[in-house]
Amino acid sequence: MRRIWLGMVAVLLMIGAGMSAQAALRAIARHGAVASNLADVATLPGDTALPVVSDKQETAAPAAGVTGTIDLPDLPIPAGTAIDVGIVPARPFSTTGISAIDRGRAVQCLTAAIYYEAASEPDAGQQAVAQVILNRTRHPAFPATVCGVVYQGSEHAGCQFSFACDGAMARIPNRAAWMRAARTAGMALSGYVYAPVGLATHYHTYAVTPAWNRGMVMTDVVGAHFFHRWKGYWGTSAAFSQHYGGGEPVPGPHTPLAPIAPPTPAMIAAGIAAADTVPTPSVAAVSMASVQRGAMSMKSTTPTPAPVADDMLPPESQILERWKDSGKPLK
């Protein structure tokens, strides 16, 4: 009996040792992960440290909560351009002089972007998203209209804002949240500037780390979004020189561009065969038919048909002399 008890105690000790070893391994793994995260820390002005997600967790843009990417404009950079230091606020946006239709479309497009991108964000978060969109309208890398910016790339798989392509707009918006987004849009289009994000043209949520953010400058963190501007000249205030003059397109995603398929060899052969079956009337037959129609319409004696010329020109007119001046104004 004593041996049985000793055996059971030994088994229990072995189980306990195994559990302790497993816990130790988990602790070592956690320690390694923390050390890796501490090695990937981005420091902003003011010694504000923000963790950077490792490359293994990267999500290609566009994704939920991520703006798309676009190539920089192929334009010359002015010599001697001063590079801005720190956060430079954008200039107030103005819709003065544009038509009521253009302003209404701009409000609708900006409201949709704020709603689908930041409906659950605080007021500052919505204002920051609106500022990014208006910043883009002034940058030569983007369209010069609000609707053009919001729905850029929606005719193919290159949406700059994911909601325009992922089916989110098929859901009916919440009325109260939509009205709140509309107020934010109206303020931004009336000149309100959300200065903390500066000249940011991109953003993403803290849940993802798109590849392009490593080549940009972070300007602010508002709510769940990190905001970025381009490095160098294209992120300075001098680069935001595009003029907004209205001309807003119809709000909504662009119609997909269906590729035009070239004709197949079978289609070409069928076309040639069909053309060969259509008889080509002779010049003499066409001339005689014209003479007969002219004679019947004028109810007169059939004139002598004009000879067929060798140059394949149309036959001479068969109208009688007394009818040639009809239709001319009387003097």
* 17-26, 61-70, 113-122, 273-282: range with lowest mean pLDDT: 17-26
The gap from C-alpha 16 to its chain's centroid, in whole angstroms, comes to 59
* 37-51, 58-72, 91-105: range with lowest mean pLDDT: 37-51
- Average pLDDT in the 179-185 region? 97
So what's the pLDDT on residue 257?
56
- Average pLDDT in the 142-154 region? 94
pLDDT tens for 291-320 read 555 555 555 455 555 555 555 555 555 556
So what's the pLDDT on residue 325?
58
pTM above 0.85, yes or no: no
Distance, CA of 3 to CA of 7 (rounded, Å)? 6
The gap from C-alpha 39 to its chain's centroid, in whole angstroms, comes to 36
- Average pLDDT in the 125-141 region? 96
